[in-house]
Amino acid sequence: MPDVLKLGFGPFAAPARGVLVVFCDEGLKFGPATTRTLGRAADLVTRAAKAERFTGKNGSALALSVPEGLKADRLVVIGAGKVAGLQQQDYVKLGGAAFGKLPVSAPEATIFAELPGGAMRADRAADLAQGIKLRAYAFDRYKTKRKDDEKPPASRKVTVAVGDVAAARSAFAPRAGIADGVLIARDLVNEPANVLYPEEFARRTGALKKLGVAVEVLDVPRLKKLGMNALLGVAQGSAHEGRVVVMRWNGGRKADAPVAFIGKGVCFDTGGISIKPAGGMEDMKGDMAGAACVTGLMHALAARKAKANAVGVIGLVENMPDGKAQRPGDIVKSMSGQTIEIINTDAEGRLVLGDVIWYAAQRFKPKFMVDLATLTGAIIVALGHEYAGMFANNDQLAERLTKAGQATGETVWRMPLGKEYDKMIDSKFADMKNTGGGRHAGAITAAQFIKRFVDDKTPWAHLDIAGTGFDSRHNDINKSWGSGWGVRLLDRLVADYYER
């Protein structure tokens, strides 16, 4: 898709046309360059603020048409609230909020990266620009008709005015790479399942090769040879074959073991023979959000040339009801050798993850592993859409993830694991069963299941992203359904881990 957003940096100067966006604090104060540029228009702002009861609260906005004294045809003032405590993620959100205040049809805008104290630091201005890039994303490739007032211009030019253009540009380069990773993940999640089935998903990961990522696709004969029968059992009811993709970015020291990220990639989850009810089932095209995040993360790490060794492994299947589909009561032997009694074919994600996590651990002996999966409705009951559920066998890794979450705004909340929960998945006929039976502690018993495929010596965290991977409730930096959740979180985790 052509990049309709042309995002760049320039010096503080009054724009000759388009929209001018400036920031103020909760005292309606502006920075020096903004004050200079506004000139007489500053009085207009004061009067309009009074009339509109605009007080500069964080995220609020005031818009003026054809402001006297300015060549810009629209002036937008964005409130930054209390400026003193603003964190990185606040700048990202401010950028998103600023872009959101541009009229859909505006082809050109200038955004002054300045607060009352002066020009934003180059890294903060770059955070702001990242927020603009994230907010500007739309998944509209299947829209062939548009009402006149919904038509965006063919391209939109946004200039972020900064104190030091060169410094802002170099600070933005890695952030643009990370944002691209988020957008790749969103595209994958938003894509419908008739287009994005396992083989097609695997094909799309091939684009990472251009950035220097090694991409390996394991096909069905290979998966059979490896003994990934738990994953293959889920895939067997579909006309589309399953795949596993291994992506490797080696930007660190040669001899160093990698860190590993594992993603659930159920391209569509009907529930299988234990079929889901019809209402909302279309959302299950997003049941590959974990795999999408891992793919986007690999892009982000490669694009910013992270000094890290990272491997991403994703299990891609489609869960369908069929004459050949797996049944409740079936027993499969996983790659680990452990046997699993299938109680409910809708608890398919853990079957996929069990094999893929085992494979990743055996092959790569990673320093730590993080898996991401839209695994249970139960985690949405517990945490809603604000936090992902985190389960971990290692306190240090859990703490690192918690911190990275607070820094990026992609927050995680730790949930318990324990012997008593583990007992709930013991089976009468096999080593374990794939559901805990009953609805109690559903997210925890799912995590316990995955834990049985992890050796206790490898630090491991499982993120249940059923509530955060996709969501129709929009926010400042995302107007699309797929969120790309986790890319910024894990990019930060990797950065902190290698630069500690």
315 binds ligand BES (CB under 6 A): no
347 binds ligand BES (CB under 6 A): yes
* Nearest residue (CB) to Mn ion, 130 versus 435: 435
Q: Whose CA is closest to 358, among 375, 337, 340?
A: 337
237 binds ligand BES (CB under 6 A): no
- List phi, psi (to 5°) of 197: -105, 170
377 binds ligand BES (CB under 6 A): yes
269 binds ligand BES (CB under 6 A): yes
Shortest spacing between CB 283 and ligand BES, in angstroms: 6
54, two tokens: 């605009």
Shortest spacing between CB 375 and Mn ion, in angstroms: 9
From residue 449 to residue 468, what is the string marking binding to ligand BES with x (rule CB under 6 A)? -----------------x--
Residues 6+ apart with CB under 8 A from 348: 234, 266, 269, 272, 317, 319
Catalytic residue among 121, 276, 333, 414: 276
Question: Is 276 an annotated catalytic residue?
Answer: yes
442 binds ligand BES (CB under 6 A): yes
Catalytic residue among 74, 101, 264, 350: 350
Q: Extract the runs of DSSP E, i.e. beta strands, from 124-229.
A: 156-162, 214-218
406 binds ligand BES (CB under 6 A): no
Helices 88-100/395-408 angle, 10° precision: 40
Residues 6+ apart with CB under 8 A from 416: 391, 444
Among ligand BES, Mn ion, Zn ion, none, the one that 251 touches (CB under a kind-dependent 5 to 8 A) is none
Among Mn ion, Zn ion, ligand BES, none, the one that 62 touches (CB under a kind-dependent 5 to 8 A) is none
Among Mn ion, ligand BES, Zn ion, none, the one that 442 touches (CB under a kind-dependent 5 to 8 A) is ligand BES
Q: Whose CA is closest to 377, among 315, 451, 445, 296?
A: 445
If phi over 0 gives left and psi between -120 and 50 gives alpha, with beta otherwise, what is residue 395?
Answer: alpha
Shortest spacing between CB 350 and ligand BES, in angstroms: 8
Residues 6+ apart with CB under 8 A from 248: 213, 214, 216, 258, 309, 310, 311, 312
325, two tokens: 């589909």
360, two tokens: 């990743």
Q: Which stretch binds ligand BES (CB under 6 A): 72-80, 106-114, 173-181, 344-352?
A: 344-352
348 binds ligand BES (CB under 6 A): yes
* Nearest residue (CB) to ligand BES, 90 versus 346: 346
* Nearest residue (CB) to Mn ion, 101 versus 264: 264
What's the maximum distance between 2 C-alpha atoms anywhere in the chain? 81
The site for Mn ion (CB under 5 A) is made up of 269, 346, 348
Q: Which residue has the tokens 């004459």?
A: 323
Of 58, 88, 338, 344, the one binding ligand BES (CB under 6 A) is 344
Instruction: Give the integer Cα–Cα distance in Å for 46 and 59.
Output: 18
The site for Zn ion (CB under 5 A) is made up of 266, 269, 287, 349
Gyration radius of the chain over CA positions: 24
Question: Is 350 an annotated catalytic residue?
Answer: yes
Question: Which residue is closest to Mn ion by CB?
Answer: 346
Shortest spacing between CB 493 and ligand BES, in angstroms: 23
Do 325 and 273 form a contact (C-beta atoms < 8 A)? yes
Of 108, 187, 191, 287, the one binding ligand BES (CB under 6 A) is 287
Binding site for ligand BES (CB under 6 A): 269, 287, 344, 346-349, 374-378, 435, 442, 466
> What is the set of active-site residues?
276, 350
